[in-house]
């Protein structure tokens, strides 16, 4: 295996109860992933039924249009604040859709967490959320063909941690390819995002072949 893909939380007991990847029973999994130097792709899923009250009368928002990103971004923040990456500093998590909005949202989150400096759920992490994002995450362009968002993502995470992807069959390969080929960026960045980052990632971790 070159890596693993997980669709967000895991149902336990029934469809209304989920176990998130920052919870103690999951740390053994992360320790093994770290030991094997295996990247984990965190894929979105719909929020738990108990969490979709704010989508009432707007069912179209629950899935990929909005709910996927909100659910996954919150899941990632939980991982960051849990201390997981301090205990396993080599862990790599891959996010699609240009990081599920996190390149834009993390600076505000970091600012407010610094101002608060207290409260439930804080105090476990030794670094800032932006540091974890830049050190423990890669993002892909899957399903998010928007150049301004791409440039903002590069500014936050660095061009070496962005990889081209389409999200087929849910997105159109030709549409994604045409956007990327004509996006306003340097040829060097296009080469890195389009090919070199992914191949270099595999070679560096001995996963190529």
Catalytic residue among 167, 172, 181, 189: 167
Question: Which helix (H) or strand (E) segment is 15 a member of?
Answer: strand 14-19
CB 66 within 8 A of CB 8: no
Alpha-carbon dihedral angle through residues 23, 24, 25, 30, given to the nearest 10 degrees: 80
For 58-131, list the strands marked E by DSSP: 93-95
The per-type count for the chain, helices as H runs and strands as E runs, is: 10, 7
| Rounded Cα distance, 144 and 89, in Å | 28
Q: Is 167 a catalytic site residue?
A: yes
CB 89 within 8 A of CB 47: no
Where does residue 150 rank: exposed (0-12), middle (13-18), buried (19+ CB within 10 A)?
buried
Catalytic residues: 167
């Amino acid at each position: 295996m070159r890596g693993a893909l997980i669709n967000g939380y895991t149902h336990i007991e029934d469809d209304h109860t989920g176990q998130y990847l920052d919870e103690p029973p999951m740390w053994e999994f992360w320790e093994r992933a770290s030991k094997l130097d295996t990247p984990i792709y965190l894929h979105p899923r719909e929020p738990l039924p108990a969490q979709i009250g704010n989508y009432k009368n707007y069912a179209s928002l629950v899935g990929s249009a909005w709910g996927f990103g909100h659910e996954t971004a919150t899941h990632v923040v939980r991982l960051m604040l849990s201390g997981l990456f301090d205990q396993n500093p080599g862990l790599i998590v891959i996010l699609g859709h240009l990081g599920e909005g996190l390149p834009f949202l993390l600076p505000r989150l970091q600012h407010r967490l610094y101002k608060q400096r207290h409260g439930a759920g804080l105090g476990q992490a030794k670094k800032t959320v932006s540091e974890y994002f830049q050190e423990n995450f890669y993002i892909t362009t899957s399903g998010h063909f928007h150049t301004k968002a791409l440039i903002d993502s590069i500014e936050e995470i660095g061009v070496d941690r962005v990889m081209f992807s389409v999200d087929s069959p849910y997105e159109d390969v030709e549409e994604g390819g045409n956007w990327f080929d004509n996006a306003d960026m340097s040829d060097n960045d296009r080469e890195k995002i389009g090919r070199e980052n992914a191949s270099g990632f595999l070679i560096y971790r001995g996963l190529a072949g």
